[in-house]
Amino acid sequence: MKQKEMEKQLISNELALLRSQINPQFLFNTLTNIKSLIELQPEKAIYSIENLSEIMSYMLYETSADKVLLDDEIDYINNYLNLQSVRYNPDFISFEVTGNTTGLLVPPMIFMPFIENVFTFGDSIPRTPGVAIKLNIIENVLSFEIMNHTKENTDKDKSGSGYNIKSSKRCLDLLFGNKYNLDIKNENNKYLIKLKIKLIA
């Protein structure tokens, strides 16, 4: 029991660290994109700054809780995707939410490592869509899926085993036990993630 408590605390600390950090490459890319927009498209630059401000505010003030509203998490994902979309054509990223999300609670930033992984290993060649994300609620079961095209030289093993992905798997084990299923595939230059979680009240 003592060993399990120590392991639980260790993973909780790791999860807290994961939540508190913003991907440096993402921040660098975002600031570079905003800089390029200031002269050419100032309104879009302002919109991007507002998105970034909301992202950082959420990370600083909301993610310390064990659970957050799913709707707030969806807003965070939308802000993140809006910033990423500056780099691509308008139809490159698709994010679809279906089902009744009202009042449902989830661990904060539980989806973000998978989404970040997509933009790390994904192929930026214009396709429609290049990244497709779906979140669906049926009763108390949450389904989260991502599809994106991968680069030709992407290592099939590494794309699904980065630090954030491994940490997320451990956190899912701790938070949901046997009440979730995660399937990750990288085949035919497509990266596929399917996560199903039975939400606990």
Q: What are the start-end ranges of the H helices in the chain?
A: 2-20, 24-40, 42-61, 70-85, 112-121, 163-176
CATH of 2-198, one of 3.50.50.60, 3.30.565.10, 3.90.1490.10, 3.40.50.2000: 3.30.565.10
Q: Which two tokens stand for residue 93?
A: 């990223």
d(CA 99, CA 93): 20
pLDDT of residue 1: 73
pLDDT of residue 22: 59
pLDDT tens by residue, the chain, 201 residues: 777 677 767 766 766 666 655 566 677 778 888 888 888 888 888 988 999 899 888 887 777 788 899 999 999 999 989 888 887 877 889 999 999 999 999 988 889 888 888 877 666 565 677 899 999 999 889 999 999 887 665 554 444 445 467 777 877 887 888 899 999 988 777 889 999 999 876
Closest CA to 74 of 87, 58, 56, 52: 58
SS3 assignment, position 187:
strand
The neighbour count for residue 199, using CB atoms within 10 Å, is: 17
Q: Model pTM?
A: 0.81
Residue boundaries of the structural domains of the chain: 2-198
Gyration radius (Cα) of the chain, Å: 17
pLDDT of residue 158: 47
Calculated CA dihedral for residues 32, 35, 60, 133, nearest 10 degrees: -60
